[in-house]
Amino acid sequence: MGGESLSTQGHVGHLILTILLAVAQWEVEEIRDRATKQLRSRFVALQLTGNVPFGHDVDYVFADGHHELSPRALCWGGKDTPPEAVAGALVQAHGALLSKPLLPNLAEREWLYTMVAQRTAGQSYKAIALWLNANGSRTKLGRRWQCGSVASVLGSRHTVRLVTESAAAAETGK
């Protein structure tokens, strides 16, 4: 339609517009499905898909074989960012980032399993946060626990997976 205008007037125009809108909607759904499948496959493969979840660290693997173990996600810079944590500098030094597998952080997992046990015993999120703070635990970002951060960690899909895997292992006697 090089340079020609498309009229949306009348029955034919309405039909063409309806078809174009249907194709656009289909495209949106296809993109959403592909993104969802990609995220799901990364989650199943224990690859980082966002922030590093409590109970895990991430092992950034670069093209030259360099590994950068981090309790937090690398960032792309900012005035308060330490140079060694800037992902761009690491990519320049070590080549492309190949994978971001999640690894167990055993110290955090001890806190996590305690949180799950307390919640299962009927403790409120606030009571758990107060207990964690009184006993020296801190969030992934080094902050004091709040009831919302406890709820977020306990409701995360990573925590659900860990609890489910632990229960299955206990049942099979592993």
Q: What angle do CA 68, 87, 74 make, to 5 degrees?
A: 70
Amino acid present at 92: Q
CA nearest 83: which of 68, 96, 66, 98? 68
- Please report the pLDDT score of residue 51 as a whole number: 83
pLDDT in tens, 83-107: 555 677 788 888 888 888 999 999 9
| pTM (2 d.p.) | 0.69
SS3 state of residue 172: helix
pLDDT in tens, 21-74: 999 999 999 999 898 788 777 777 778 887 889 999 999 899 999 998 888 777
Amino acid present at 153: V
Whole-angstrom Cα distance, residue 56 to residue 172?
A: 24
- Residue 174 predicted with pLDDT over 70: no
From the CA atom positions of the chain, what is the Rg in Å? 24
Element (H, E) at 56: strand 56-62
- Please report the pLDDT score of residue 166 as a whole number: 84
pLDDT in tens, 94-145: 888 888 899 999 999 999 999 999 999 999 999 999 999 999 999 988 899 9
**Bridge pairing between strands 102-104 and 97-99:** unpaired
pLDDT in tens, 74-83: 765 555 655 5
> What is the mean predicted confidence (pLDDT) over 145-163?
93
Q: Where along the chain do its domains lie? A: 9-44, 56-104, 106-172
